[in-house]
Amino acid sequence: MSRVCVPCFAKVNLTLAVLYRRPDQFHELRTVFQTISLHDRLEIDYRPARRRRIELECAIPIADNLVIRAAHAVLDELRLNAAVRFRLDKRIPMGAGLGGGSSDAAAVLLALPALARRAIGESRLHEIGGGLGSDVPFFLLGGTAVGLGRGEELYPIEGPGTAWAVVLCPPAPVSTPEAYRALGRPALTELTSAEIVNKMKKFQSVVRLMVCPDAGGDWKLFCENDFEAAVFRQYPLLEFLRRKLSATGAQLARMTGSGSALFGVYPTRKEARAAADRLAGSRRDGNGPDIRQEMVSFVSRTRYRSAWRKALQPLVAGRTWPPRHI
């Protein structure tokens, strides 16, 4: 039997534009993904077997768990049967826009071939990941990436460097389908060219200034999340929390994905810690809902992959990505 314990990092959307509803009923997006240090832990036991058996142990019941679906997808691709047991330590809140389920699924796609001492090519892994969920392919890359289409068309970029964030997670999750309905994006044919051009200019400014910081200007000033207006109408608490983050001096305060988590970005750990202490202090009167708070750092692609290689030792060696068995 082989066993590994791998990290499943969360993400935030530094900016997120929902352009229009496509003919296939998905939405055309423009976003910048960023992995953060908050993570689930997934322990995997693997052994060859005549019959396939996949089990998942998790303290939080999750219907149609992506871990199970990803495991079947890998074994189908490799044409293998095996006994696989997963133990998921769920630390990323569900329904928060932090990508926890997608990250868990990507972890299976990366780790299970190495445990089986087989390989799946990177492009094929991305195809499988895209079939599981729009955010899954991003977690096969990590770091910072531009996401187009449904978010599955990815272009890795140099990230904003060292940064810290405070993440606020309200207890009530936000349904992504409901958020899209509330947003009410029209089809492309119903939009004016000016509306599309305006959104694209802001998005391009974020990417250009992030990649070329000497170009003049702060990329954070152009970041938006199109879901905020619609979701804040339904959940006023979220708008209140975003204002609280801004009041602590956050350089950027936004909701991630379709919610419900929000994050504030700070240039140093000291400033993030001061903001976290201030936010925690304002809630010590015991009034209002219980808001989970996490202080995190941005995880670069180098750091992301280093953590993965370390977790998969001694099954893999070298710097090949995706990780390959020895």
Q: Out of 40, 135, 220, 244, which one is annotated catalytic?
A: 135
Q: Which two tokens stand for residue 313?
A: 């030792």
What pLDDT does residue 285 have?
55
Residue-wise pLDDT for 126-181, tens only, equals 999 999 999 999 999 999 999 999 999 999 999 998 899 999 999 888 999 999 99
What pLDDT does residue 309 have?
95
Tens place of pLDDT per residue across the chain (326 aa):
699 999 999 999 999 999 999 999 899 999 999 999 999 999 999 999 999 999 999 998 887 899 999 999 999 999 999 999 999 999 999 999 999 999 999 999 999 999 999 999 999 999 999 999 999 999 999 999 999 999 999 999 999 988 999 999 998 889 999 999 999 888 877 777 788 888 899 999 999 999 998 888 899 999 999 999 999 999 999 999 999 999 999 999 999 999 999 999 999 999 999 999 999 876 655 566 789 999 999 999 999 999 999 999 989 988 899 998 87
Q: Out of 11, 199, 220, 244, which one is annotated catalytic?
A: 11
Angle of helix 66-78 relative to helix 122-132, nearest 10 degrees, comes to 140
* Residue 254 burial class via C-beta count within 10 angstroms: exposed 0-12, middle 13-18, buried 19 and up: buried
Report residue 104: phi and psi, to 5°: -60, -45
Q: Which two tokens stand for residue 83?
A: 């006994």
What pLDDT does residue 288 have?
60
CATH 3.30.230.10 in the chain is located at 2-159+300-312
Q: Label residue 95 left, alpha or beta by phi (over 0 means left) and psi (-120 to 50 means alpha).
A: left
CA-nearest of 239, 201, 241 to 221 is 201
Q: Which CATH code for domain 164-297?
A: 3.30.70.890
**How many residues are given for the chain?**
326
Beta strand residue intervals within the chain, DSSP E: 2-21, 27-48, 53-58, 82-89, 144-149, 153-156, 164-169, 252-255, 262-266, 292-297
Is the separation of the CB atoms in 44 and 86 below 8 Å?
yes
How are beta strands 82-89 and 27-48 bridged, if at all? antiparallel
Instruction: Classify 2-159+300-312 by CATH class.
Output: alpha beta
* Angstrom distance (rounded) from CA 261 to CA 301: 23
What pLDDT does residue 283 have?
64
Give the largest Cα separation in the chain, rounded. 61
Annotated catalytic, 135?
A: yes
How are beta strands 164-169 and 153-156 bridged, if at all? unpaired
Is the separation of the CB atoms in 59 and 22 below 8 Å?
no
Q: Which pTM was predicted?
A: 0.95
Annotated catalytic, 11?
A: yes
What pLDDT does residue 37 have?
98
* Angstrom distance (rounded) from CA 287 to CA 46: 47
CATH 3.30.70.890 in the chain is located at 164-297
Single-letter amino acid, residue 299: V
